[in-house]
Chains A and B, each alone.
Chain A
Amino acid sequence: MIILLLKIDNLNVLVGDKQLLHNYNLNIDKGEIHAIMGPNGSGKSTLAKVIMGAEDYKIITGDIYYDNEDITKLKVDERARKGIFLAMQSPLEIEGITNADFLRTALNTKTKTNVDIYQFIKETEDAINELKMDSNMLHRSINSGFSGGERKKNEILQMKILKPKLIILDEIDSGLDIDSLKIVAHNILQYQQENKEVSILIITHYPRLLNYIKPDYVHIMTCGKIVKSGDYELALKIENQGYNNVKTIKNQNNKESTIKEKEEHE
């Protein structure tokens, strides 16, 4: 049985003439939660966009495998339809396209059918209630006039409707107050509990979100590479000691493992 969902193999990535990811390796098994932490400019969001297939990022060497398929050359939408979902750090406002039309178009495209309108409305309204959102937002333009928190909730609403297998949360906690953070975290966890093989990659500066969605692995990134991996304890130590001392942090639970070690173990 294949348990590996995402494998990033020795990836080197350029934007313009600047290399942002260096010999990058990461394996995520089905059902696992990984967190990537790191200071500003360490390449965390780059990683998210590269997994998603953004065009501005040029892969010079390396491969990305998803569900045992090489997706390195697939387009963004092809990856999305295969079940990769990126919840954006700064979701865009798009005037003139309603959330309902957008969601339904995306769902129709993914399922290659015309989704039953009543089923769609019912499912969407349930998800909106679970996220404690205003139901009128469905008829407003995408993220138009939304607060930062509403935009993040809207990302999770899309996730719940589109039902991905790999969820990348790029700083989903920024702009969320504590109550909204709990709601968002609860919905993500609930989704994963209902879909046991779903994996989550959390990208964050702070361990605040990780208090609610406990990761199986925490990786620290600086300068476009993972410099340390461990478990949830590592995130707490980062909070106390900061990123500057990351190399001196020892993992007391002895769960520290580089990706290569993990691969060797497998």
Chain B
Amino acid sequence: MNKIKVVANGEYQINVNQNIIVNDYTKSSEVNKEWLFIYVPSNMDETLDLKLCNTNTKEKIYILLDDNSKLDLFMIANKQLPSNYEFKFVIKDNSELVVNKFYYGNGHHEKLIIDLIGYKSKVYYNLSTVTKDKQKYIMNINHSNQETVSIINNRGITINNTALELEINGYILKGMKKSVMEQTSKIITLGENYSVIKPNLFIDENDVSVRHGASIGSFQKESIFYLQTRGLSKANCYQLLMQAFILSILKITEEKKKELLQIVNIGGENHECSK
């Protein structure tokens, strides 16, 4: 199992096989030492667990997938203090990046750029976040080649009357025919709603398939009633619905789901990132 744990600002515990190369800045002219640089060479099919345990810091993470490669990336952040992240994912010809990402914690600001520069490059991006203080995510997805695919699913739960802001900007440039872009974002507010979703689609090509959906609201009263009629207390109902909401979009193993549930159910205090 490939693992990288970000333990402090610029300090990492890296445990990866030879198919994943970390911080070899000769692999790209675009990236410098400010970034944690993860490079997946051509024709590789790998998984990587990326744990973001540092708090109150700025962090920059760059992932480059070379031709015909695949990376299944699981990211987890459990942070009690605010943080500021910048990600860039660059995907070359016929490569595929799958991201399943779970955030739990306080204030967070994140900027993500996904560059689909390769022909038939694909990204499947699933984000679940439980927000205790203001969080803002800006995502820019650039379809810069033909037959590129981006499927973006975001889910957030806000507690303590806090705010979650999701700005998703999808760009399909002229000539990038047969590209597919889908965005779905849902936010459940457990208190007052101060959240915002900005789904922006900038499309300069006719021969494409594009879809988006965005919703902000609370759990359906009918769902809570239904669960209560089977004997579950209201608190249990909320717990079950929260778990379902945040876990159902993540394509991860049962073992990982258990890890996430532990964070949600006990507030994350005993998780390895909090120690």
Taking beta carbons and an 8 Å cutoff, which residues of A are in contact with B?
Answer: 52, 54-56, 75-77, 80-81, 85-86, 88, 91-92, 94-97, 101-102, 105-106, 109-110, 141, 158, 162
Contacts and interface: CB of A to CB of B under 8 A. Distances in A.
B224 to A, nearest CB: 9
Contact of B222 (A92, A106, A162): A92
A77 B223 contact: no
A141 B231 contact: no
A73 B234 CA distance: 16
Contact of B231 (A92, A94, A109): A109
B248 A81 contact: no
A97 B243 contact: yes
Interface in B107-148: none
Contacts of B222: 92
Contact of A105 (B225, B232, B245): B232
A85 B230 CA distance: 7
Contacts, number: 68
A77 B247 contact: no
Contacts of A77: 228-229, 231-234, 236
B231 A162 contact: yes
B240 interface: yes
A97 B239 CA distance: 11
5 contacts: A77-B233, A92-B220, A96-B243, A110-B231, A158-B230
Interface in B201-230: 220-223, 225-230
B241 interface: yes
Contacts of B266: none
Contact of B229 (A52, A96, A101): A52
Contacts of A109: 231-233, 236
A201 to B, nearest CB: 14
Given A92-B223, A105-B236, A109-B236, A76 B244 contact: no
Chain A CB within 10 A, most for which of B220, B241, B244, B245: B244
A105 B231 CA distance: 9
A106 B225 contact: no
Given A88-B226, A94-B223, A97-B244, 5 more contacts: A75-B228, A92-B222, A92-B226, A94-B241, A96-B244
Contacts of B236: 77, 105, 109
Contacts of A55: 221, 225
A145 to B, nearest CB: 13
Contacts of B230: 80, 102, 106, 158, 162
Nearest to B230: A106
A100 to B, nearest CB: 13
Contact of A96 (B220, B225, B234, B248): B248
A51 B234 CA distance: 18
B149 to A, nearest CB: 23
Interface string B232-261: 111010001101110110000000000000
A106 B226 contact: no
Nearest to A77: B228
Contacts of A80: 228-231
B228 A85 contact: no
A75 B232 CA distance: 11
A76 B232 CA distance: 9
Contacts of B231: 77, 80-81, 106, 109-110, 162
Contacts of A101: 240
Contacts of A97: 240-241, 243-244
A102 B241 CA distance: 11
Contacts of B234: 75, 77
Contacts of B240: 97, 101-102, 105
A94 B234 CA distance: 16
Interface string B23-66: 00000000000000000000000000000000000000000000
A76 B241 contact: no
A88 B226 CA distance: 8
A86 B229 CA distance: 7
Contacts of B241: 94, 97
Nearest to A103: B230
A182 to B, nearest CB: 25
Given A95-B248, A96-B244, A85 B232 contact: no
Chain A CB within 10 A, most for which of B220, B230, B247: B230
Nearest to B242: A96
A176 to B, nearest CB: 19
Contacts of A56: 221
A76 B220 CA distance: 16
A81 B172 CA distance: 55
B130 to A, nearest CB: 14
Nearest to B220: A92
Nearest to B233: A77
